[in-house]
Amino acid sequence: MSPALPPIRHGGNLLAAVRRYGRAEADWLDLSTGIHPDGYPVPALPASAWQRLPQDGDGLAELAAQAFGAPQALPVAGSQAAIRTLPGLLRPGRVGIAALGYSEYAPAFASAGHTVVPLDEADFARADLADALDHLVVVNPNNPTARLLPPATLLRWHAALAGRGGTLLVDEAFIDCLPAASVAAHSGAEGLVVLRSIGKFYGLAGIRCGFVLAHQPLLDALHARLGHWTVSGPARAVARHALADRRWQEATRAQLGLSGARLGTLLARHGLTAVVHPLFCWVPHADALTLHEALAREGVWTRYFEAAGGCLPSLRLGLPPDRPACWQRLDAALAAVTA
């Protein structure tokens, strides 16, 4: 039996902050997600995107596979659809999942009859991590700790798991800024599943479109379980534009690298030590809850994490929109709460 699982929590819950603190929605600087705040410029869509049923043969799967460097891809309604469905397609067993990480995985696997083994952050430094497990979930880079594992480590764990009929699931929702660390190119191998998103790097979380990269028989089984039309026509059209726009991707990768470093420097100037990812900063701190609430009173909404996985309680701060007023407001709020 799996241990008691923590509740599912997500960032982006700005309306909860509005209700709790009595500040109008428009008067918040929302840094509670790791979503690119100045995302892909969505073009006008043809009427057919709205009027016709979505079509699997529209080239989206092939375009995604090419963009991610994978043998094949299955579009799904955001990674969430895959996270909730994939555990039921895998042989029940012991599955290792980070105790401090994306909170949807543990309940999804537990509901499908797996035994969840919570992992501390230190466990991911163990070469033998996969030896006592049937399946392993690795969010790479991890959300929120930004822990990044090299492909060689992941492929070694995959070989150990697959040799026993197990599976390594690698969630690469935040890897677009660091593409050399991806294992998508190996996703045609049995026992390796890679999830990709266009919600974070592309800033398109609202269209609910993601991709599963895996061995073709598993993709076929997942497609059969999910059924037809899981991704809407407009979402598919926007995703095709974004994935094909290599110039925007290259420029954005460079810009986000600068912005992430800028956020880390700003936090350090106010005495807060952060682990930096191009899309967010993670700040473990004994008084994280006090900082979270103090920033909220200044109209800055962050994501608070309780102590878990051998880590202190912590805050995750996403990037402000790329406008001077937004950065100045964050600077002033940090000055007020750390004075």
Could you read off the pLDDT of 60-115 as tens digits, one per residue?
999 999 999 999 999 999 988 999 999 999 999 999 999 999 999 999 999 999 99
Residue ranges of domains in the chain: 14-39+247-338, 54-244
Q: By the 8 A CB rule, do 324 and 338 touch? A: no
Class of domain 54-244: alpha beta
Residue with tokens 């016709």: 52
Q: What is the distance between the alpha carbons of residues 335 and 339, in angstroms, rounded to a whole number? A: 6
Q: What pTM value is reported for the model?
A: 0.95
- Sheet holding 167-171: strands in order across? 74-76, 210-213, 192-197, 167-171, 135-139, 94-98, 115-119
Distance CA 300, CA 298 (A): 6
- Mean per-residue pLDDT over the chain, rounded: 95
pLDDT tens, residue by residue, 144-180:
999 999 999 999 999 999 999 999 999 999 999 999 9
CATH architecture of 14-39+247-338: Alpha-Beta Complex (3.90)
Q: How far is CA 142 from CA 128, 246, 267, in A?
A: 19, 25, 20
Name the strand (E) or helix (H) holding 183.
none
